[in-house]
């Protein structure tokens, strides 16, 4: 009995052990399966995270490129290459849709560099960038792209055949098979609220996920943003260098280009020429027919220059009725022929209402008359002005001037003032400015810089760079009144020096915030006489310039100072300086008022026409501000 009892107990223990082993094995299997699922989920999540990270990096790459100064073609090619390499697609490209002569076309504007690109270009027998397909639309285009919907298909050969009809469908099928293409995704691109084209993706995967489609939609928005930014940049760039009325380059671009052309000419020891051109009798056209017809005449000149220029020539509207043309590689003989051709073409124009128009032209050549760019432009300008004085509607070749230039007069005057300490500057300050002037040399920009530097010493509100604009404004204004070259040159020197007498007046008085006493007002009013008599009169070559500076605060109605002149008694050059000085002063802040905007400054000037300034001068001055690049 005891044996049987023990046997039963042993058997029970064995059963319990087997049951425990079974339950343990079952639990182990459950844990194992759970771990496998967890590992698979972790792997999937890791892959999703890696994909999301690649997508974020790709988008960041796009944003970095868009904010960099790269051409749009380079940005778009980098974008599609990022999409193809970083996200594992077989091929990607951007196709633009456009209409020309009533027909719809497709063209590739960017594509990834891959095996598919190489093979399809062999099939087409031309680079993808040169492919231009006449395209009448399909269900894919009409139902998806036009409606801004992403289209995915595994029937890619049928889909792409509509985009590449000149390729044999069998060859397309074989190409897709050889490259492992399983599906095609078309993502519409929209700019300026209209259909632009498509982002085309060829994938090695048959299916797409919702997350992938969402990402591609986001990716397409980045491409659209890149295209929009590029279009805006090009528009702004075009506006920055172009004259809106004529479509020619503007003064700013011309001045930059001619400096580069001079560097090229020096390297290659090659001549180039400038044609200076001025429309004759613009004021009479404006007065008789109105400014709209004056604009038509100016635009006509622009059209003539476009039609008569070589592809390498640079034609620019410098301001108002004045134009310049750079002729690279052309000597004076060739430039005179080109100028005469332009003159005749202008003379042959017949504008409705206005009738015939003419122009006066001047020619100057680098290395023949001068090897200085600033002087070259001056010589062309002087030759053109000579054509006007000789009867207009003619071409004059510039001659090298043996007379001292206005730049030399201004340079020598500045050097004399600084070297002989004619103004109360600390020796160190005076010496530093002298060294700066010597380094800059005798050229327009150097003289403008020194004038700005001196003005800033007594006027902390002064805007650096205004001297150059003042000289250019004065030059344009003087031409409106047919001032001869020598008077224009004197005016330019006077613009640089007219306010130098302010250095002799204490700073605390010039910048005083409380009302001035009569004695203080008289002291400030003395600065024109100080400039003319105490600082400049002892310097040689100043005799013709002194009256301009001495009288630049005389008002048209006789209420100015220091000599209480009125009307035509005031030198015209002095009137011009007073007007130009007031215009810029109104746009600087003062202790008793804020700086005025350009429009407000013009209104103040209009209000004082006939009081402070010559009404005709105001009319021409405002016309220049409204029509020229200032």
Task: Report the pLDDT value the prediction gives residue 66, as an integer from 0 to 100.
Answer: 46
Per-residue pLDDT at 518 exceeds 90: no
**Active-site positions?**
321
Q: Which residues of 514-537 are buried (b: 16+ CB within 10 A; e: fewer)?
A: eeeeeebeebbebbbbbbbeebbe
Q: Are residues 199 and 339 in the same domain?
A: no
CA atoms within 13 A on the CB side of 148: 12
Going from the C-alpha of 629 to that of each of 301, 418, 471, the distances in angstroms are: 17, 34, 13
pLDDT tens digits, 404-432: 688 888 888 888 888 778 888 888 888 88
Task: Answer yes or no: is 510 within a domain.
Answer: yes
Which has more pLDDT, 329 or 164?
329
Taking residues 230-257, what's their average pLDDT? 79
CA distance 298 to 321: 6
Number of domains observed in the structure of the chain: 3
CATH number at residue 308: 3.30.70.270
Asked if residue 533 and residue 428 are part of one domain, the reply reads yes
CATH code for position 140: 3.30.450.40
**Which domain-ending residue is among 239, 260, 285?**
239
Distance in angstroms (rounded) separating the CA atoms of residues 454 and 252 = 25
pLDDT of residue 350: 93
Q: Which residue has the higher pLDDT, 73 or 107?
A: 107
Which percentage of the chain shows pLDDT scores above 90? 31
- pLDDT for res 142: 61
Tell me the per-residue pLDDT of 328-365, one tens digit each, with 9 for 90 and over: 999 999 999 999 999 999 999 999 999 999 999 999 99
Give domain status of residue 224, yes or no.
Answer: yes
Largest pairwise CA distance in the chain: 152
What is the model's pLDDT at position 361? 96
Q: Which of 354, 372, 179, 370 is nearest to 282 (CA)?
A: 354
In a domain, 37, yes or no: no
Q: What is the pLDDT of residue 290?
A: 92
**510 plus 429 within the same structural domain:** yes
Could you say which of 206, 239, 272 is where a domain stops? 239
User: Is 397 strand, coil or helix?
Assistant: strand
pLDDT score of 68? 47
> Across the chain, what does the average pLDDT equal?
81
Q: What is the pLDDT of residue 69?
A: 47
Smallest Cα–Cα separation from 217: which of 199, 240, 197?
A: 199
Q: What is the DSSP string of 2-30?
A: HHHHHHHHHHHHHHHHHHHHHHHHHHHHH
Residue 290 sits in the same domain as residue 189: no
State percent of the chain over pLDDT 70: 78
User: Burial of 387 by CB count in 10 Å (0-12 exposed, 13-18 middle, 19+ buried)?
Assistant: buried
3-state secondary structure of 106: strand
Q: Is residue 33 part of a domain?
A: no
Place of tokens 């004082």: 608
Both 468 and 611 in a single domain?
A: yes
382 has pLDDT over 60: yes
Asked whether residue 311 falls in the same domain as residue 380, the answer is: yes
Q: What is the DSSP letter of 249?
A: E
Mean pLDDT of 357-381: 91
Q: What is the DSSP string of 278-344?
A: EETTHHHHHHHH-HHHHHHHHHHHHHHHHHH--TT-EEEEEETTEEEEEEET--HHHHHHHHHHHHH
**Same domain for 495 and 391?**
no
Of the ranges 60-74, 169-183, 195-209, 523-537, which is most confident? 195-209
HSE-CB for 585 with a 13 A CA cutoff:
13
Check: CB of residue 273 under 8 Å from CB of residue 363. Answer: yes
Handedness of CA 402, 406, 408, 409 (dihedral sign): positive
The more confidently predicted of residues 85 and 293 is: 293
Nearest CA among 257, 349, 256, 234 for reference residue 299: 349
Tell me, yes or no, whether 498 lies in a domain.
yes
Per mean pLDDT, which range of 35-44, 63-72, 602-611 is the poorest? 63-72
Q: 382 and 521: one domain?
A: no
Are 438 and 294 contained in the same domain? no
For residue 261, CA distances in Å to 256, 264, 267, 441, 442 come to 9, 5, 10, 20, 20
- 52 lies in a domain? no
Q: Of 239, 274, 297, which marks where a domain is finished?
A: 239
Specify which residues 132 forms β-bridges with.
107
What are the tens digits of pLDDT across the range 541-592? 788 899 999 999 999 999 998 899 999 999 999 999 999 999 999 998 877 7
Cα 58–62–66 angle (5° rounding)?
A: 170
Residues 549 and 437 in one domain: yes
Residue 278 clears pLDDT 60, i.e. is over it:
yes
Q: Do 489 and 617 reside in the same domain of the chain?
A: yes
Inter-residue contact 473 to 480 (CB < 8 Å): no
Residue 234 confidence (pLDDT): 62
Task: Kindly state the tokens that stand for 616.
Answer: 């005709």
pLDDT of residue 67: 47
Render pLDDT for 452-498 as a digit per residue (tens, 0 to 9). Answer: 888 888 777 777 778 999 999 999 999 899 898 889 999 999 999 88
Q: Would you state the structure tokens that stand for residue 528, as one six-digit string?
A: 């024109």
Block residue for tokens 């007219």: 498
Domain that includes residue 255, residue range:
249-397
182 and 261 inside one domain: no
* Residue 23 confidence (pLDDT): 60
487, part of any domain? yes
pLDDT exceeds cutoff 80 at 140 = no
| Per-position b or e across 410-421, b if 16+ CB within 10 A of its CB | bbebbbbbbeee
- Per-residue tokens: 449: 């810089």
Can the peptide bond before residue 562 be classed as cis, meaning omega within 30 degrees of 0? yes
Domain annotation covers residue 42: no
Q: Which residue has the higher pLDDT, 340 or 202?
A: 340
Question: Between these two residues, 74 and 242, which has the higher pLDDT value?
Answer: 242
Range in 65-79, 179-193, 264-278, 549-563 with the lowest mean pLDDT: 65-79
Q: Would you state the pLDDT for residue 15?
A: 63
Residue 197 pLDDT level (bands cut at 50, 70, 90): confident
């Amino acid at each position: 009995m005891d044996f049987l009892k023990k046997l039963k107990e042993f058997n029970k223990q064995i059963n319990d052990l087997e049951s425990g082993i079974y339950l343990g094995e079952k639990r182990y299997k459950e844990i194992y399966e759970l771990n496998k699922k967890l590992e698979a989920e972790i792997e999937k999540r890791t892959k999703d995270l890696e994909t999301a990270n690649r997508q974020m990096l790709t988008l960041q790459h796009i944003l970095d490129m868009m904010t960099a100064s790269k051409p749009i073609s380079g940005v778009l090619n980098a974008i599609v290459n990022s999409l193809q390499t970083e996200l594992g697609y077989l091929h990607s490209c951007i196709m633009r849709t456009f209409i020309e002569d009533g027909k719809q076309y497709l063209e590739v504007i960017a594509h990834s560099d891959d095996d598919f690109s190489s093979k399809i270009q062999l099939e087409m027998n031309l680079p993808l960038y040169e492919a231009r397909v006449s395209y009448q639309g399909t269900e894919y285009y009409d139902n998806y792209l036009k409606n801004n919907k992403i289209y995915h298909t595994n029937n890619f050969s049928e889909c792409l055949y509509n985009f590449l009809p000149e390729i044999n469908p069998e060859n397309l099928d074989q190409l897709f098979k050889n490259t492992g293409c399983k599906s095609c995704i078309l993502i519409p691109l929209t700019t300026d609220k209209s259909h632009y084209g498509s982002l085309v993706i060829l994938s090695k995967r048959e299916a797409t996920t919702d997350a992938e489609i969402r990402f591609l939609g986001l990716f397409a928005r980045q491409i659209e943003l890149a295209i929009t930014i590029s279009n805006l940049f090009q528009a702004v760039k075009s506006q920055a260098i172009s004259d809106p009325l004529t479509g020619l380059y503007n003064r700013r671009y011309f001045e930059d280009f001619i400096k580069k052309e001079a560097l090229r000419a020096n390297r290659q020891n090659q001549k180039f020429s400038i044609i200076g051109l001025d429309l004759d009798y613009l004021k009479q056209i404006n007065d008789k027919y109105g400014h709209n017809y004056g604009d038509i005449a100016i635009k006509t000149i622009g059209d003539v220059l476009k039609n008569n220029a070589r592809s390498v020539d640079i034609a620019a509207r410098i301001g108002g009725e004045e134009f310049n043309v750079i002729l690279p590689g052309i000597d004076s003989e060739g430039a005179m022929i080109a100028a005469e051709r332009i003159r005749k073409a202008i003379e042959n124009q017949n504008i409705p209402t206005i009738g015939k128009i003419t122009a006066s032209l001047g020619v100057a050549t680098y290395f023949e008359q001068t090897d200085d760019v600033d002087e070259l432009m001056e010589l062309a300008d002087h030759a053109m002005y000579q054509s006007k004085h000789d009867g207009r509607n003619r071409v004059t070749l510039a001659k090298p001037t043996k007379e001292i230039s206005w730049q030399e007069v201004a340079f020598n005057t500045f050097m004399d003032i600084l070297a002989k300490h004619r103004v109360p500057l600390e020796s160190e300050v005076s010496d530093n400015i002298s060294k700066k002037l010597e380094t800059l040399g005798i050229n327009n920009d150097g003289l403008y810089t020194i004038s700005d530097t001196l003005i800033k010493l007594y006027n902390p509100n002064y805007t650096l760079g205004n001297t150059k604009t003042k000289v250019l404004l004065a030059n344009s204004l003087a031409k409106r009144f047919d001032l001869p070259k020598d008077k224009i040159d004197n005016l330019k020197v006077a613009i640089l020096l007219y306010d130098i007498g302010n250095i002799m007046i204490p700073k605390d008085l010039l910048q005083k915030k409380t009302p001035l006493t009569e004695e203080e007002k008289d002291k400030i009013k003395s600065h024109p006489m100080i400039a003319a008599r105490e600082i400049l009169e002892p310097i040689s070559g100043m005799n013709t310039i002194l009256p301009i500076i001495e009288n630049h605060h005389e008002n048209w109605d006789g209420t100015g100072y220091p000599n209480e002149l009125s009307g035509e008694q005031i030198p015209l050059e002095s009137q011009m300086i007073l007007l130009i000085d007031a215009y810029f002063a109104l746009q600087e802040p003062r202790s008793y008022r804020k700086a005025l905007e350009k429009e407000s400054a013009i209104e103040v000037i209009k209000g004082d026409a006939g009081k402070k300034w010559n009404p005709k001068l105001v009319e021409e001055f405002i016309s220049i501000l409204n029509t020229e690049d200032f």
